[in-house]
Structure 1
């Protein structure tokens, strides 16, 4: 993808990442830690050891069922989303892709990177022949919920104890979007 200029003369970019250099891995881990500390930890309540994060992201790159899309701000990775394919043994749900680990580091928000990451992942899902995208989100993530709903995701379910934070249940929502495979996804 082409780099974009944003207010404040920041250079931004979203792209699919199929390999990762060490410096970019460290940036991705930094962004992940910042998002976790801000309450958007896609399962983590506190940042794990750095070696755990490094292993996690290296594993994502190696897994053929996962496509990693990243957001860059001024040459550094600041966010991600993954497109997960169903198991090859799951013929009945082979038409459904799943989005996960969607975050933008707090210092990089407000520049349209989340919107662009979502658009790129959706375009890839259409190109891959998926008919539907699913995702889930913690009810406390209001900005993400608003983004999903603006982009045509429909809330179809809720779980009251989606997560446990500080020994208290936190609700979560489940979303789906039917994809128009006749044309590329649009924001």
Structure 2
């Protein structure tokens, strides 16, 4: 049975973060709000700056990188879960759950009250994953559970939501 672990990435891990991010963009070019060419053009300094907040998590299977997730503060008590990716060969093994738990643990430790994320409409597996961790679709006033123009919808988890596993 493979050993699955999650760890925080630091600025000195920039090459590793870059490699996994580029793999994610190669696998799912429309899923991350960026492009492969844009990310390939980033400098070492830019990669290090991304990791300076200690809120980027790497999943490894038997020591090999297999997933990535980040948490970006977007307000005083709000953050976004971003860049969630698990390599295709590792999907369905629990890696995504480990990454979400690491991200939520970081958010809780930082006093973040609300974590939000975007899910592509029709990505049932992603919606189920996030729902297991207490995320719910955010309703838009006057139009419950409406997707955005981009075909995405927002899911939110608040710290007071006790339905999420620890």
Q: TM-score higher than 0.5 here? A: yes
The equivalences for 1:67-82 within 5 A come to: 67-82=55-70
Partner of 1:80, secondary structure, is strand
Q: List alignment gaps of at least 5 residues for structure 2.
A: 140-145
> 1:21-170, aligned counterparts within 5 Å?
21=13, 24-25=16-17, 27-36=19-28, 41-44=31-34, 47-48=36-37, 51-52=40-41, 57-62=47-52, 64=53, 67-86=55-74, 93-157=75-139, 158-162=146-150
Tell me the SS of whatever aligns to 2:24.
helix
Q: 2:8 aligns to what?
A: 16
The size of the alignment, in residue pairs, is 158
2:159 to 179, 183, 187: 179
1: CA distance, partners of 2:70 / 2:17: 15
C-alpha separation between the residues in 2 aligned to 1:136 and 1:124? 19
- TM-score in terms of structure 1 length: 0.70
5+ long unaligned stretches in structure 1: 1-8, 87-92, 163-170
Mapping for residues 1-12 of structure 1, pairs under 5 Å: 9-12=1-4
1:180 to 1:127, Cα distance in 2 relative to 1, 3 A: farther
Q: CA 1:99–1:29 in structure 2 vs 1: closer, same or farther (change >3 Å)?
A: closer
